[in-house]
Copies of this chain bind each other. A is one copy, B any other.
Amino acid sequence: MTDPSTSESHYFSSNPPPPTLPQHTAQANAFVTHHHAHSRRVVLLTSGGTTVPLENQTVRFIDNFSAGTRGATSAEYFLSQGYAVIFLHRQFSLLPFSRHYSHSTNCFLDFLSEWGRIGEGDEGEDGGAATPDVVVKAKYRREMLSVLRKYRKAKEQKLLLLLPFTTVTSYLFTLRAIAREMRCLGNEALFYLAAAVSDFFVPPDRMAEHKIQSGDVPESTSGASPGGGGKKLVIDLDPVPKFLKRLVEQWAPEAMIVSFKLETDPALLLKKCNQSLDRYAHHLVIGNILATRKYEVLFVEEGSAQWVRLPTSDDKSGGSEEVEIESLIVPEVIKRHEKMLLKRAATG
């Protein structure tokens, strides 16, 4: 077992880096360099849950509940406020823009209909004058057009970089690499850590190679193995090192860093947020409760705690659009980032 005090460097030396790391690092480097040259602020936004594989050839894994709604929604608001966004997300979790349609209970095919017109405007590739058009139905058109235009603008202006992860190990390696690439941005860099990161993992030397068999005799070296009765399964996990400390102190010492804390017990929320702030000495913890996270969050900073809440339905002015709480969270975060920039400019 690793000693927690030195476990973080041990973690990176004893776990294999993800094969995608060189490519993702190069993409982040090009992205940061481009926006740094244009004096644009960059936010690294993490989103979705990390997995903890229980076998090397992974059939089973532990996951953290997160569809990626907070991250994908926040990314759109950061883009609308002029930030360039590196979106480090769990593979197949919600993405900015496509989130409006992808995890819908309606299949997106329900938005489409065919419409037989003469093939003008064809690009000819399929010789398709006889092929009807496939069009978005009129009642969905206006909203789809709005989403499509924002998506294309972000894409054409290279304001959004999508980088996927799956395991907690690939998440941590990639986070460290991107943070290093972002150091040149100084305090123009913002970290908005909305991903649900595992607190525990199975170290490689205790990981089963193959799918754990329900009837097998336990292997003595296995982190997860059927228990003594031959039928129960006991999974034995080590703590993931507290990477946030290293991020704040070494990887991104000048950046603004915002973390999230998800709890289920309201009585614990403020205490856990304050603990996190005490321990890592970063700038802001946004606390939220599983059951109410779409309506209220708690901003905890040194010496203050403030709820950010959606207006209740009584207060609503009858607008038909649903207000997303990220439309309140992101401007509040940006206000604090700007205050920090002004303060450092004044003292720097």
Residues of A within 8 A of B (CB): 1, 4, 51, 54-55, 57-65, 67, 92, 95, 97-98, 101-103, 107-109, 112, 114-115, 121-126, 128, 131-139, 141-142, 144-145, 147-149, 151-152, 196, 198-200, 209-211, 213-214, 227, 229, 231-239, 262-265, 268, 290-291
Contact = CB atoms under 8 A, between A and B. Distances in A.
Given A57-B290, A59-B290, A107-B95, A264 B211 contact: yes
A210 B134 CA distance: 48
This chain's copy number in the assembly: 2
Contacts of A65: 58-61
A126 B134 CA distance: 19
B263 A211 contact: yes
Given A92-B103, A239-B231, A64 B55 contact: no
Contacts of A291: 57
Most chain B beta carbons < 10 A, residue from A109, A125, A144, A149: A109
A235 B52 CA distance: 13
Contacts of A200: 214, 232-233
Contacts of A61: 62-63, 65
B108 A108 contact: yes
Contact of A128 (B103, B141, B198): B141
